[in-house]
Amino acid sequence: MPTRAIPSPVRFVYHHRTQGRGGEGVHIAHVVRALAAAGHEVTVVSPPGVDPLATAGSAPVDKSDVRVTGVSRLWRWVSRRCPQVGFELLEIAYNLYAAFRLRSPLSRDPATVLYERYAFFLFLSTWLARRRGLTIVLEVNEVAGVQRARGLVLERIARRIERATFRRADAVLVVSSFLAAEVLRRGGRDGHVHVIPNAVDAEPPPSPSERARAREALGLAENVVIGFLGWFDRWDRLDMLVDAFADLHQSRPRARLLLVGDGPVAAELRREVARRGLRDAVLLTGPVSRAEVPRHLAAMDIGVLPSSNAFGSPIALFEMMAAGRAVVAPDVGPVLDVVKHGATGVIVRLGDRHALRSAMELLVDDAGMRERLGAAARRQIEARHTWTANARRIVEIVQLCKGEPG
């Protein structure tokens, strides 16, 4: 039997235009490290003062406690204070800096692959790579016109740049099937768009003794614990989760709700918990470090994602599944790409409080179902959704683009 050819190492130039601290930093850092661990060379080109390999994971769980200095402080000030149209004009101007910074990394080796995290209005980087005949891999996590936190004023310009950039790429990697369809509709080439959801490092799941210690430390030893992990924004619909839990708790007093993290709606949630007389049943941890996340996940029996958008791939979902927790999540495309109802989790209709409560009741009452779903979720993560597996898939796609044996 002929032996399979071992692919030669790939030289990646990983270009991004993010602050590298939140979920985007987690994604960048893990992809870069997984590619490097597989023997590939990766040069990261970031905005001035940004290093996602150093800051990734400082948010979203504890965004409020992130400290930035120097140029990073300037970026945060611009992000928060600059009028939206001015912010977008700065994004367009950033092309000049990107082209300057990429000229040298993209000229060293004709076999270089430009791996770029797509950002609105960014085009000179891929144009430069195409001029030099390099392979272009574009990672797309959002598209113009789909709702985002900042909004988008110069949408028509963004869409025109987007179409040209999608057509220029040899491969477009997206985190959800929704984005795959949008990229194809907006100029992406059929057969060149690939769905690669987010992932996690599949660390060993918590042992029974670790779980017992985590629950005892939080005062939850005798309870069935429903948990959420992340940055508390309005669109996460934690108000709906608290509302559904309040109904559930009336008939199942042993149930507890553990909300891990902080964010803009945290104070509002605390007031609602107090108003409903749930202070003894709902624990809001406040900001926690990334190192503390496994301990809090270990304390949960059930992980809940009350809401999610139609295009993003929520890392918290993968973290809960990797920890072997039974998950409840909404019926949006990125979740359905990963979770199969009744096999690796429980799917509920988006925005349906009654369905959310019923799913939580089902799992609170059935320990065997919790264990079965949690174990199946863990197996799926190990098989398909680790950063190592994602890196391997990226290299396979590059080999296809280059016409190399896989």
CATH fold match for the domains 11-199+386-402 and 208-384: yes
Is the pLDDT reported for residue 32 higher than 50? yes
Is the pLDDT reported for residue 218 higher than 90? yes
pLDDT band at 3 (very low <50, low <70, confident <90, very high): very low
pLDDT band at 6 (very low <50, low <70, confident <90, very high): very low
> Among residues 299, 208, 234, which one has the least CA distance to residue 260?
299
Give the residue extent of every domain in the chain: 11-199+386-402, 208-384
Q: Beta strands 171-174 and 193-195: pairing type?
A: parallel
How many Å apart are CA 400 and CA 230, to the nearest integer?
36
Q: Specify whether the backbone of 220 is left (phi greater than 0), alpha (psi in -120 to 50) or beta.
A: alpha
Rounded percentage of the chain residues whose pLDDT exceeds 90 = 77
> Among residues 31, 18, 111, 1, which one has the least CA distance to residue 389?
31
Is the pLDDT reported for residue 207 higher than 50? yes
How many Å apart are CA 59 and CA 27, to the nearest integer?
12
DSSP alpha helix (H) spans, 252-386: 266-275, 293-298, 315-322, 333-336, 353-365, 367-384
Beta bridge partners of 137: 115, 171
Q: Beta strands 346-348 and 255-262: pairing type?
A: unpaired
Phi and psi, residue 122, nearest 5°: -90, 120
Rounded percentage of the chain residues whose pLDDT exceeds 70 = 91
Residue 346 neighbours by CB under 8 Å, 6+ apart: 326, 327, 328, 329, 359, 362, 363, 373
> Among residues 27, 321, 378, which one has the least CA distance to residue 173?
27
Query: Domain 208-384: which topology?
Result: Rossmann fold (3.40.50)
Phi and psi, residue 193, nearest 5°: -110, 125
Residue 238 neighbours by CB under 8 Å, 6+ apart: 228, 232, 259, 265, 269, 306
> Among residues 344, 310, 302, 316, which one has the least CA distance to residue 330?
310
Beta bridge partners of 302: 226, 326
The one-character DSSP state at 350 is T
pLDDT band at 71 (very low <50, low <70, confident <90, very high): low
Dihedral angle sign, alpha carbons of residues 181, 184, 185, 186: positive
The pLDDT, as a whole number, for residue 1 is 39
How many Å apart are CA 48 and CA 267, to the nearest integer?
34
In tens, the pLDDT along 249-299 reads 999 999 999 999 999 999 999 999 999 999 999 999 999 888 899 999 999
- The three-state secondary structure class of 125 is helix
The one-character DSSP state at 39 is T
Q: pTM of the full predicted structure?
A: 0.88
Least confident of 76-90, 128-142, 371-385: 76-90
Would you tell me how many other CB atoms lie within 10 Å of the CB of residue 12?
A: 25
202 token code pair: 């599949």
Torsion angle of C-alpha atoms 26, 32, 33, 37, degrees rounded to 10:
150
How many Å apart are CA 341 and CA 95, to the nearest integer?
44
CATH 1.10.375.10 assigned to domain 11-199+386-402? The reply is: no
213 token code pair: 């210690």
Cis amide linkage into residue 405, ω under 30° from 0: no
- The three-state secondary structure class of 218 is coil
